[in-house]
């Protein structure tokens, strides 16, 4: 009997694997649900003889990749590949794919929602009225018109550009920092290209939307936060470790900046088997809104991510080219 393809899902926070199974079982593949969030060597008992791996949060590094005997493709459910040793995959002839377009609107909308919620001081007003205080000055002031404010964006990729378009529609003046994007391209989007120092000094709202790498880890730290305006709002809808959480806690608790909205924290709880939420003091601050890495979520985006990743695996196992090989 011909050997079935073995496709291992390293880990998932989806309720089931019905989408993946509907696509991959049609080509005779067995879908194995490892649920090994810790990744690493613990994954080996599932993936050593796998033909393909679908990866969400579990880290897969060089030591594990070198022990894969049959693997033809590792398909990321998301966009970033910082949890995967792409170079080792390349050397071993393993194709790596991601899903580059599935949540461009969702993340941009989430960034704008966090920014507007804090710019209009909604959480502060809600807390105030709950305490019986009924006046527009209570906890809210000062608030300024959006057209009087600068919306800064660090990272001008697909999502950064989408954030810029939405911010401009709300009459913000938009500037961006991204050394990899040409000034002409930003100008076409109605955005002023500036350096890092300028965007830190001038932004009323500063939104971080860059991939996580050795260069961007703690991109926003104590020195950067000190350069920001006292009334500034920091938004991070990228990866948690891009912002130094200890430095941010100090800046927020000492009033060095006004507020922050984060969609992930440095702990990156989704990658931990047992997360101690008490260990991060940012969760106790009223001027820090934190969402559980949900910016990418809509029912439609999740379905698109799962379907696209599974279809990439199917294509490679059938000897075809995937759409989104890195």
The CATH number given to whatever domain includes residue 53 is 3.40.50.720
Q: 261, 245, 272, 324: which is closest to 294 by C-alpha?
A: 261
User: Is residue 109, in this structure, part of any structural domain at all?
Assistant: yes
State residue 3's pLDDT score: 63
Q: What is the pLDDT of residue 1?
A: 39
Whether residues 96 and 113 fall in one domain:
no
Cα 224 to Cα 197: distance, rounded to the nearest angstrom: 8
DSSP-derived letter for residue 182 is: -
pLDDT of residue 140: 79
Same domain, 143 and 277: yes
Q: What angle do CA 252, 254, 257 make, to 5 degrees?
A: 45
Place of tokens 């954030």: 163
Assess if residue 324 is contained within a domain.
Answer: no
| Closest-CA residue to 28 (of 223, 314, 323, 258) | 314
Residue 267 resides in a domain: yes
Residues 265 and 250 in one domain: yes
Active-site annotation holds for 268: yes
Parallel, antiparallel, or unpaired: how do β-strands 52-55 and 73-76 relate?
parallel
On whether both 59 and 120 belong to a single domain, the answer is no
Tokens linked to 124: 């502060």
Same domain membership, residue 149 and residue 120: yes
| 142: preceding bond cis by omega (within 30 degrees) | yes
Residue 84 φ then ψ, to 5°: -135, 135
- 222 as an active site residue: the answer is no
Let me know whether 204 and 267 are in one domain. yes
Q: Are residues 191 and 248 in the same domain?
A: yes
Give the DSSP letter string of 57-90: S--B-HHHHTT-SS--EEEESSS--TTB-HHHHH
Residue 211 lies in a domain: yes
> 239, 266, 306, 312: which one is catalytic?
239
Identify the active-site residue in 30, 268, 304, 307.
268
Reported as half-sphere exposure (CB side, CA atoms, 13 A), residue 266 has a value of: 19
Q: What is the predicted pLDDT for the residue at 38?
A: 84
Return the exposure string of 276-315: e unless at least 16 CB atoms fall within 10 Å of the residue's CB, then b.
Answer: eeeebebeeeebbbbeebebbbeeebbebbbbbbbbbbbb
Residues of the chain with pLDDT under 50: 1
Question: What's the confidence (pLDDT) of residue 219?
Answer: 98
Q: Are residues 200 and 269 in the same domain?
A: yes
| Domain co-membership, 38 together with 121 | no
Domain that holds residue 190: 104-290
Q: Compute the distance between CA of residue 162 and CA of residue 180 in angstroms, rounded to an integer.
A: 17
Return the H-helix or E-strand segment holding 162: helix 158-169
- Residues 154 and 86 grouped into a single domain: no
Which of 308, 315, 316, 326 minimizes the C-alpha distance to 20?
308
Residue 303 lies in a domain: yes
Query: Does residue 323 sit within a domain?
Result: no
Pair of tokens at residue 237: 């809808």
Annotated catalytic residue: which of 76, 121, 293, 306? 293
Domain count, the chain: 2
φ, ψ at 51 (rounded to 5°): -85, -25
Tell me whether residue 252 is in a domain.
yes
My answer on whether 113 and 244 are in the same domain is yes
Q: Any catalytic annotation for residue 239?
A: yes
Instruction: Judge if 93 and 168 occupy the same domain.
Output: no
Residue 113 has phi, psi (to 5 degrees) of: -60, -45
CB 233 within 8 A of CB 115: yes
Query: Are residues 264 and 231 in contact, defined by beta-carbon separation less than 8 angstroms?
Result: no
Is residue 159 domain-resident? Answer: yes
């Amino acid at each position: 009997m011909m050997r079935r393809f073995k496709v291992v899902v390293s880990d998932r926070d989806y309720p089931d694997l019905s989408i993946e199974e509907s696509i991959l079982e049609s080509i005779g593949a067995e879908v194995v649900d490892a649920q090994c969030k810790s990744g690493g060597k613990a994954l080996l008992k599932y993936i050593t003889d796998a033909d393909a791996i679908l990866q969400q949060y579990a880290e897969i590094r060089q030591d594990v990749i070198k022990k894969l005997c049959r693997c033809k493709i590792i398909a990321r459910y998301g966009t970033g590949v910082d949890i995967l040793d792409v170079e080792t995959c390349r050397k071993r002839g393993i194709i790596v794919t991601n899903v580059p377009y599935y949540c461009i609107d969702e993340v941009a909308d989430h960034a704008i929602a966090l920014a507007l919620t804090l710019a209009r001081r909604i959480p502060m007003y809600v807390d105030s009225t709950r305490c019986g205080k009924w006046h527009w000055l209570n906890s809210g002031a000062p608030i300024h018109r959006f057209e009087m404010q600068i919306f800064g964006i660090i990272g001008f990729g697909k999502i950064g550009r989408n954030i810029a378009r939405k911010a401009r529609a709300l009459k913000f003046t938009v500037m961006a920092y991204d050394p990899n994007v040409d000034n002409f391209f930003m100008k076409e989007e109605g955005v002023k290209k500036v350096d890092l120092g300028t965007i830190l000094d001038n932004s009323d709202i500063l939104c971080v939307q860059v991939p996580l790498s050795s260069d961007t880890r703690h991109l926003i730290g104590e020195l950067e936060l000190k350069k920001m305006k006292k009334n500034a709002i920091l938004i991070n809808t990228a990866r948690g470790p891009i912002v130094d959480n200890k430095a941010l806690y100090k800046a927020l608790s000492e009033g060095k900046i006004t507020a922050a909205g984060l969609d992930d924290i440095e702990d990156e709880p989704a990658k931990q088997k047992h997360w101690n939420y008490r260990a991060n003091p940012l969760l106790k601050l009223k001027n820090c809104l934190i969402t559980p890495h949900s910016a990418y979520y809509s029912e439609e985006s999740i379905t698109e991510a799962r379907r696209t990743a599974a279809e990439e695996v199917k294509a490679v196992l059938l000897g075809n080219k995937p759409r989104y090989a890195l």
